[in-house]
A = this chain, B = another copy of it.
Amino acid sequence: MVRTARAFTNIALIKYWGKKNQTLKLPCTNSLSLTLDRFYTDTKLTIADNDHDTVYLNHKLLDETQNKRILKYLDTVRQFYSFDDHFIVDTVNHVPTSAGFASSASGFAALAAAINETKQLNLNKRELSILARNGSGSASRSIYGGFVEWIAGDSNETSFATPIDENPQIDLTLLSVVINKGSKKISSTVGMENSVKTSPFYPNWVTLVASEIKEIKQAIAKKDIQRIGEIAEHNAMSMHALTLSANPSFTYFEPETIRIFQIIQELRQKGILAYATIDAGPNVKIICTNESITKVQKYIEEQLSNVSCVVANIGSGIQYI
Contact = CB atoms under 8 A, between A and B. Distances in A.
Contacts of A249: 233-234, 237-238
A261 B256 contact: no
A208 B247 CA distance: 12
Given A200-B207, A208-B200, A251 B245 contact: no
A233 B248 contact: yes
A203 B202 CA distance: 12
A254 interface: yes
Interface residues of A, number: 29
Given A204-B201, A255-B255, A248 B261 contact: no
Nearest to A253: B258
A199 to B, nearest CB: 8
Interface string A224-245: 0000001001100110111011
Contacts of A240: 244
A28 to B, nearest CB: 15
Contact of A255 (B200, B241, B251, B256): B256
DSSP class of A's interface residues: helix, strand, loop or mixed?
A: helix
A201 B251 contact: no
Contacts of A258: 251, 253-255, 257-258
B245 A238 contact: yes
Contacts of A238: 200-201, 244-245, 249
B201 A245 contact: yes
A68 interface: no
Contacts of A234: 245, 247-249
A227 to B, nearest CB: 12
A207 B240 CA distance: 20
Contacts of A237: 244-245, 249
Given A200-B238, A238-B245, 8 more contacts: A201-B238, A201-B245, A203-B204, A237-B249, A240-B244, A241-B244, A251-B261, A257-B258
